[in-house]
Structure 1
Amino acid sequence: MVLALPELTAYLLDRRFMHPDAVLDGRLSLADTSRRNHNVLVSAEPGVGLFVKQGGASLAHEAAVYRLFGALRRAGVIAAAVPRDVGFDPERGILVLESVPGALDLTAYHTGSGRFPATVGNRLGSALADLHVSATIEARVRQAEFTGRMPWALALDRPGLGFYREMSNGGVELVRMLQSSPRLRAALAELRAEWRSDTFLHHDLKWDNCLMVPAGVSGRRTRLMLVDWEFGDLGDAAWDTGSAFGAYLGCWLGSIPVTGGEEPGRYLDLAAFPLARMRAAMAAFWRSYVAGRGWDAATADAELVRAVRYSGVRLLQTAYERTQRAARVPATVVCLAQLAENVMVRPEEAAVRLLGVLGEGR
């Protein structure tokens, strides 16, 4: 049963997750921020807060992810910039995490300012490489909890009956569109065959789950934190790095006032957020990630091609998510699907012409 806000306050006080003085002197505030789960952001005093998740079937798995991070901290290994686990109550289905008041997710950070600093790309690459290196060994030890799985978007061209039952008419139309492209279906089949489960991933890396956090007395957002570990699991590192590239490509394409189904490249000059403005950040992301992994140039370039192909799959996932309440496939979704196919089929060309990154691992 999901606790209402007054009941949740009593619960947090009873478990000593916050001090009674926060209630007595009026400093306590609770804000419902629910998405997949019932989420509440709790602020008790400046610079201190809690994030409470309730009722989701995946909370036990997310709690296992935080136990993994806790083990890394106790061993003196810093995995990635992640929130601390305050407590998990399996009987009530409540996960309590630290929160950082004043944090801003990368969607709001980038689109609010129209800027895409290389420093942010650098921090994201470093955090992701740190995660992939430091958390993987511990996750392999805990294979009963982290069994490895493949993203559902890799099978979007061949959904099962259960998946079809959840689709909107627009979603069904999109799947038929994907099924009509032999090139795209071949690319998806190749990626399914090549999938690895050898690295601990975030598995749902998008700008909404990357927070810029104030650091120090200046209040400048100079620290990056990765949040929402509901899907953390073993998998293919290129899925996370491809998702990072996909976030930039999706932002670019989403800023173009598309009115038809033409090729995305025809609208380059109309983008509110041009790719040219993002390339320094994407290059910095890849350089810092490669440095964190300790790869040589040949390995870096080979893994870049794989990451670019997975960025196309991430774009397909975004395209499908935008059809969930649609009766028809919107023009923007058609363009997303076209861009996804292009980068999956011609990843080297996309790395040069779109991302401007090929060879940045050298």
Structure 2
Amino acid sequence: MFLTAANLAHYLLDSGLVDVADIVDGDFKVIEAGQNNRNFKVVVGNNRGKFLKQVQSFQDLHRSSIQREADCYRWAQGFPLWANLMPTLVRYDQSRYCLILELLSASENLREFYNKHREFPESIAGLLGDALSVYHSIKIDLDSTETNLPKLSNKVPWIFTYHKVSYFPANSLSGGAVQFGDVLRSLPTLQTHLERLFDIWRSSDLIHADIKWDNCLIQQVEHEQRLKIIDWELVQMGDVRWDVGSVFQSYLSFWVMCSYRDSSLSTQQLIDDTVANMPKMFASIRAFWNNYRSARNEGSTENDVCLKTCLEFAAVRMLQTAFESLYHCSEMSPHAYALLDLSQQVLRDPTQAAVDLFGLTEDV
């Protein structure tokens, strides 16, 4: 059974997750929050609720990703610091491929927070740096016979090789996404960078693999701010520099994407606006990087994470953001072109980009 706003109350009653009083007292609300899945926020009163995520279809790919996320939540319970970064798992209904989590009250994702306030507190950036260092530091024995160890892939993200092969059925892409691929295949220098970075990818550590501000929630608990990371569907063995780079690209792409619905802006205007506004983020970027590096003991050979490569991976992740922004576009948008241009700026000279675009003055 697929869940809908209409049948959700009945499902929750049958599952024992709410009772009749919760519904009839008038404090029961269902809010659709779907993107790639069927997502629902169920609010009961002011302080209780559930978040439900169900697959859109019963195709194998969707089944495996949500099953992996459920396994990840269970497995994380053996690592309290990591589990503390996640919402609480209530139940996984395998018959319906439905993940049920405790709803995080008084929370909003970082994109919403930064769009609203246009301030970038160092304290929040530091929390994010600490959070990544927690699960990046987990040591995993892939030969372990633990039954609760999820099946973790170790694939390099598709964007590194998209100039060679498309991983999407032709009829599933918008005209803008098709054009993006054509543009990518017309830039030999960019392709050389992608191939070089593909070759240095290392699948040695646990990574989230889809870090972005939408997947980072800031929660106010009394007088304390807490950070939670959600959407662990793509968790895998991979390169920690991809997650770190994904945070860096979230900063750089913010000024382009916050005006995404403004079709009057040219590509150059978007780039100029980004360059002019990035200094507002420099202290936040430094707080993120310094906290992450300190927590990971970056002075050691074992945990070495090179800033230069993190920034190069950020540039690659920005290409993926450009592609994703074109989902409903009939042609390449100025915003996608701006992201493409900024990505190439970073790849051409990551040392200069560290200073000019990210406010990081240390050697890279």
TM-score by length of 1: 0.88
- Give the Cα–Cα distance (whole angstroms) in 1 for the partners of residues 68 and 356 of structure 2: 41
Q: Which residue number corresponds to residue 96 of structure 2?
A: 92
Q: Is the aligned partner of 1:249 residue 2:255?
A: no
Q: Is the aligned partner of 1:313 residue 2:316?
A: yes
Written as runs of structure 1 = structure 2, the 5 A alignment for 1:277-356 is 277-296=280-299, 303-356=306-359
Question: Which residue of 166, 176, 185 maps to 1:170?
Answer: 176
Q: CA distance change for structure 1 residues 161 and 77 in 2, over 3 Å: closer, same or farther? A: closer
> Contact (CA 8 Å) 2:241, 2:313: kept in 1 or not?
yes
Question: Which residue of 356, 359, 362 maps to 2:362?
Answer: 359
Q: Is the aligned partner of 1:18 residue 2:18?
A: yes
State the 1:262 CA deviation: 3.9
Q: Is the aligned partner of 1:182 residue 2:188?
A: yes
Q: Which residue number corresponds to residue 31 of structure 1?
A: 31
Q: Which residue number corresponds to residue 209 of structure 1?
A: 215
- Give the Cα–Cα distance (whole angstroms) in 1 for the partners of residues 101 and 231 of structure 2: 10
State the 1:61 CA deviation: 3.5
Q: Which residue number corresponds to residue 117 of structure 1?
A: 121
State the 1:279 CA deviation: 0.7
Per-residue CA distance 1:46-68 (angstroms, 9 max, x = gap): 22211011234535533444434
Per-residue CA distance 1:24-67 (angstroms, 9 max, x = gap): 32222111111111111011232221101123453553344443
Letter of the aligned partner of 2:220 in structure 1? P
- Give the Cα–Cα distance (whole angstroms) in 2 for the partners of residues 161 and 6 of structure 1: 35
- Give the Cα–Cα distance (whole angstroms) in 1 for the partners of residues 294 and 70 of structure 2: 26
State the 1:205 CA deviation: 0.9
State the 1:101 CA deviation: 2.2
Q: Which residue number corresponds to residue 228 of structure 2?
A: 225
Letter of the aligned partner of 1:286 in structure 2? W
Q: CA distance change for structure 1 residues 252 and 311 in 2, over 3 Å: closer, same or farther? A: same
Q: CA distance change for structure 1 residues 296 and 249 in 2, over 3 Å: closer, same or farther? A: same
Written as runs of structure 1 = structure 2, the 5 A alignment for 1:143-158 is 145-158=151-164
Q: Which residue number corresponds to residue 127 of structure 1?
A: 131
> Contact (CA 8 Å) 2:87, 2:103: kept in 1 or not?
yes
TM-score by length of 2: 0.88
Q: CA distance change for structure 1 residues 83 and 266 in 2, over 3 Å: closer, same or farther? A: closer
State the 1:314 CA deviation: 1.3
Q: CA distance change for structure 1 residues 305 and 80 in 2, over 3 Å: closer, same or farther? A: farther
> Contact (CA 8 Å) 2:271, 2:338: kept in 1 or not?
no
> Contact (CA 8 Å) 2:52, 2:98: kept in 1 or not?
yes
> Contact (CA 8 Å) 2:75, 2:149: kept in 1 or not?
no
> Contact (CA 8 Å) 1:246, 1:311: kept in 2 or not?
yes
Greater helix share, 1 or 2? 1
Letter of the aligned partner of 1:25 in structure 2? D
Count of paired positions: 354
State the 1:74 CA deviation: 4.3
State the 1:75 CA deviation: 5.6
State the 1:152 CA deviation: 1.7
Letter of the aligned partner of 2:181 in structure 1? V
Per-residue CA distance 1:276-295 (angstroms, 9 max, x = gap): 11011111001111122111
- Give the Cα–Cα distance (whole angstroms) in 2 for the partners of residues 121 and 77 of structure 1: 18
- Give the Cα–Cα distance (whole angstroms) in 1 for the partners of residues 273 and 180 of structure 2: 22
- Give the Cα–Cα distance (whole angstroms) in 2 for the partners of residues 116 and 317 of structure 1: 24
Structure 2 gap ranges (5+): none
Question: SS where residue 234 of structure 1 aligns?
Answer: strand
Letter of the aligned partner of 2:85 in structure 1? A
Structure 1 gap ranges (5+): none
- Give the Cα–Cα distance (whole angstroms) in 2 for the partners of residues 82 and 120 of structure 1: 16
> Contact (CA 8 Å) 1:168, 1:327: kept in 2 or not?
yes
- Give the Cα–Cα distance (whole angstroms) in 2 for the partners of residues 268 and 83 of structure 1: 33
Q: CA distance change for structure 1 residues 122 and 17 in 2, over 3 Å: closer, same or farther? A: same
- Once structures 1 and 2 are overlaid, which stretch shifts more, 207-216 or 321-330? 321-330
Letter of the aligned partner of 1:86 in structure 2? V
Q: CA distance change for structure 1 residues 79 and 194 in 2, over 3 Å: closer, same or farther? A: farther
- Once structures 1 and 2 are overlaid, which stretch shifts more, 329-338 or 138-147? 138-147
Letter of the aligned partner of 1:62 in structure 2? I
Q: Quote the sequence identity (%).
A: 27
Q: Which residue number corresponds to residue 8 of structure 1?
A: 8
Question: SS where residue 229 of structure 1 aligns?
Answer: coil
State the 1:224 CA deviation: 0.8
Moved over 6 A (4+): 297-301
Q: Is the aligned partner of 1:199 residue 2:202?
A: no
Q: Note the aligned Cα RMSD (angstroms).
A: 2.7
- Give the Cα–Cα distance (whole angstroms) in 2 for the partners of residues 343 and 322 of structure 1: 20
> Contact (CA 8 Å) 2:296, 2:303: kept in 1 or not?
no
Question: SS where residue 252 of structure 2 aligns?
Answer: helix
